[in-house]
């Protein structure tokens, strides 16, 4: 079973569409994608929150709540800098009640595929805890074979005797020095992880950020992968 794993879309429709296109183009009869899961933060930063939520909902992608999703739907904050705060305020203005209700109903944890994959946003013990790949440990795993995290926007995975801990990286705002959209594919048959990157039109997103009245730095940092 092949499961695509995405996270931290952050309202970047252009990057998300590039990832979906890559999934479709890379699928073969022997290696088709059976499902997609999302480790949260569908909204925030970029100017297409409604479109990105709609894309996730239309595909019925199991998703957990990220801190930007929570802030947008509940009005709370998470030590946001000015760029993050601006993205949340923008999303609040653009989303209708039904979309906000969907965000507010997202769980902190999901266990899917007969318990084989657990999805969280930050850490199993704290959804807002940044857990970088170098901090992954077997102690993070429970009964699942694969633990999916997000939040750091840094792609990486570690395989332990107990299972795999992984972060697919960020679709919409990578922070590992590579500006390409990040995602991963987990093979549940052999417990392998294929980390993938996809080019997309970063300049078009930066222009849309400026047109939306969001801080220009949001768009500028996309080309730096930070």
Q: pLDDT band at 156, cuts 50/70/90?
A: very high
Number of structural domains in the chain: 1
Q: Is the pLDDT of residue 31 over 90?
A: no
Residue 117 pLDDT level (bands cut at 50, 70, 90): very high
Buried b (16+ CB within 10 A) or exposed e, 110-147: bbbbeebbbbbbbbbeebeeebebeebeeebbeebbbb
Domain that holds residue 161: 2-222
Question: Which residues, in sequence order, are bridge partners of residue 126?
Answer: 123
| pLDDT of res. 214 | 97
pLDDT on residue 128: 93
Compute the chain's Rg from CA coordinates.
16
- pLDDT for res 39: 98
pTM for the model stands at 0.96
Cα separation of 224 and 81, whole Å? 18
Q: In the predicted model, is pLDDT for residue 29 greater than 90?
A: no
Collapsed DSSP state (helix, strand, coil) of residue 58: helix
Does the pLDDT at position 38 exceed 60? yes
- CATH number, residue 63: 3.60.21.10
How far apart are the two ends of the chain, measured CA to CA in Å?
Answer: 32
Q: What is the pLDDT of residue 22?
A: 95
Give the percent of the chain with pLDDT over 70.
Answer: 96
Residue 30 pLDDT exceeds 80: no
173-222 tens-digit pLDDT: 999 999 999 999 999 999 999 999 999 999 999 999 999 999 999 999 99
Say if residue 76's pLDDT is above 90: no
Nearest to 151 by CA among 7, 19, 4: 7
Which pLDDT value is given to residue 56? 98
Q: Do the beta carbons of residue 71 and residue 37 sit within 8 Å? A: no
Mean pLDDT value across the chain: 95
Across residues 58-81, what is the average pLDDT? 89
């Amino acid at each position: 079973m092949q499961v695509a794993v995405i996270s931290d879309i952050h309202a970047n429709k252009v990057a998300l569409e590039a990832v979906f296109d890559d999934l479709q183009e890379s699928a073969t009869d022997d290696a088709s994608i059976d499902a997609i899961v999302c480790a949260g933060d569908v909204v925030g930063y970029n100017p297409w929150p409604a479109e990105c939520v709609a894309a996730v909902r239309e595909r019925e992608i199991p998703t957990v709540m990220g801190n930007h999703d929570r802030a947008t739907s509940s009005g709370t904050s998470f030590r946001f800098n000015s760029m993050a705060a601006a993205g949340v305020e923008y999303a609040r203005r653009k989303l209708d009640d039904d979309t906000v209700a969907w965000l507010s109903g997202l769980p902190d944890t999901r266990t899917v595929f007969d318990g084989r994959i657990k999805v969280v946003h930050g850490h199993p013990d704290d959804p807002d805890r940044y857990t970088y790949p170098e901090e992954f440990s077997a102690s993070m795993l429970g009964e699942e074979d694969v633990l999916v995290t997000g939040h750091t926007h840094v792609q990486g995975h570690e395989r332990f005797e107990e299972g795999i801990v992984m972060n697919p990286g960020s679709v919409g705002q990578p922070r590992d020095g590579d500006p390409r959209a990040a995602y991963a594919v987990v093979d549940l048959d052999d417990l392998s992880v294929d980390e993938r990157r996809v080019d997309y039109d970063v300049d078009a997103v930066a222009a849309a950020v400026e047109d939306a009245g969001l801080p220009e730095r949001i768009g500028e940092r996309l080309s730096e992968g930070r």
